[in-house]
């Protein structure tokens, strides 16, 4: 199968074609499927709902507006408006809302966030089909590793690649740790995962355009959601 396979689009109502059964029962999970989370496995984006659990929905929305404005000003001053303004917005938003928040308080908010999840059922079914076929399943997301284990705990995924947060003495600093796990950085982490755990006989990727295209380019079978 060619590694240059064109991106596959989901069928009706966003449902991707079903993955084929594992051909070799002795392959010992040498096949892997990567899933984005926000806008792929779930409908919508999880960050603002999470921050709303901590600072309230009104303050979260106002903080987002200020972060967008601040990021635009920052990039305009540096004449870098075409660079990753979304990551700059996220960095400012996290500092405004999470700096000084105890980790225990943030973890309690993560538990409350569980009720927010609205699964994208066709993609969730694809994830379960890969698990049934004995494949390794990895969620690769820009969402925060602070709350993602709570949202994924009933799915039984094998690994999580997510955006980390710095903490000092049990208190969040509001800074990302290891970069924002989106676009190029997500692709780098997926590549490192493939190199460390592989080689894999077959790979799948599920994500949305354009942010997941760099990750999907590394994988043989691709589904754009």
Domain assignment present for 1: no
Give the model's pLDDT for residue 74.
77
Which of the 8 DSSP states describes residue 41?
Answer: T
Give the model's pLDDT for residue 192.
98
Domain assignment present for 69: yes
Q: What is the mean pLDDT of the chain?
A: 87
Give the model's pLDDT for residue 4.
34
Q: What is the pLDDT along the chain (225 residues), one digit of tens a residue?
A: 333 333 333 322 234 444 544 444 444 459 999 999 999 999 999 999 999 999 999 999 999 999 998 888 877 666 554 458 899 999 999 999 999 999 999 999 999 999 999 999 999 999 999 999 999 999 999 999 999 999 999 999 999 999 999 999 999 999 999 999 999 999 999 999 999 999 999 999 999 988 899 999 999 999 999
Domain assignment present for 3: no
Domain assignment present for 153: yes
Domain assignment present for 178: yes
Only one residue has tokens 């796990």, namely 181
In the chain, the number of structural domains is: 1
What is the length of the chain? 225
Output the six-digit token pair for 114: 């569980």
The SS3 of residue 6 is: coil
Give the model's pLDDT for residue 20.
45
- Tell me if the bond preceding 210 is cis, omega within 30° of 0: yes
* CB-facing half-sphere around the CA of 21: CA atoms within 13 A: 3
- How far is the CA of 48 from the CAs of 134, 159, 163, in angstroms? 34, 24, 15
Distance of alpha carbon 185 from alpha carbon 211, whole angstroms: 11
Domain assignment present for 5: no
Instruction: Give the containing element (helix H, strand E) for 165.
Output: strand 159-168
Domain assignment present for 6: no
**Which residues form the domain of 184?**
12-224
Domain assignment present for 133: yes
Distance of alpha carbon 197 from alpha carbon 193, whole angstroms: 6
Residue 60's CATH number: 3.40.50.1000
The pTM for the full model equals: 0.85
Output the six-digit token pair for 186: 């997500």
* Closest C-alpha among 144, 147, 150, 206 to residue 181: 144
Give the relative orientation of helices 47-55 and 57-77 as an angle to the nearest 10 degrees. 120
**pLDDT (tens digit, 9 = 90+) per residue, 189-210?**
999 999 999 999 999 999 998 8
Residue 174 dihedral angles phi and psi, to the nearest 5°: 90, 5
């Amino acid at each position: 199968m060619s590694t240059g396979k064109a991106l596959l689009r989901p069928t009706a109502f966003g449902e991707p074609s079903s993955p084929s059964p594992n051909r070799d029962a002795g392959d010992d999970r040498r096949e892997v499927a990567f899933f984005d989370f926000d806008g792929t496995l779930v409908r919508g984006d999880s960050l603002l709902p999470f921050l709303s659990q901590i600072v309230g929905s009104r303050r979260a929305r106002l903080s987002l507006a200020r972060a967008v404005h601040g990021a635009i000003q920052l990039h305009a001053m540096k004449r870098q408006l075409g660079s990753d303004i979304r990551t700059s917005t996220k960095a400012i938003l996290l500092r405004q809302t999470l700096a000084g928040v105890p980790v225990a308080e943030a973890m309690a908010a993560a538990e409350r966030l569980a009720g927010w999840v609205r699964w994208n059922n066709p993609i969730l079914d694809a994830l379960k089909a890969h698990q049934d076929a004995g494949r390794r399943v990895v969620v690769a997301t820009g969402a925060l590793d602070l709350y993602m284990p709570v949202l994924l705990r009933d799915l039984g995924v094998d690994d999580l690649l997510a955006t980390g947060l710095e903490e000092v003495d049990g208190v969040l600093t509001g800074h990302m740790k290891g970069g924002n796990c989106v676009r190029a950085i997500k692709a780098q982490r997926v590549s490192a995962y493939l190199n460390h755990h592989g080689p894999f006989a077959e790979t799948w990727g599920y994500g949305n355009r354009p942010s997941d295209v760099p990750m999907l380019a590394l994988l043989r079978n691709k589904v754009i959601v």
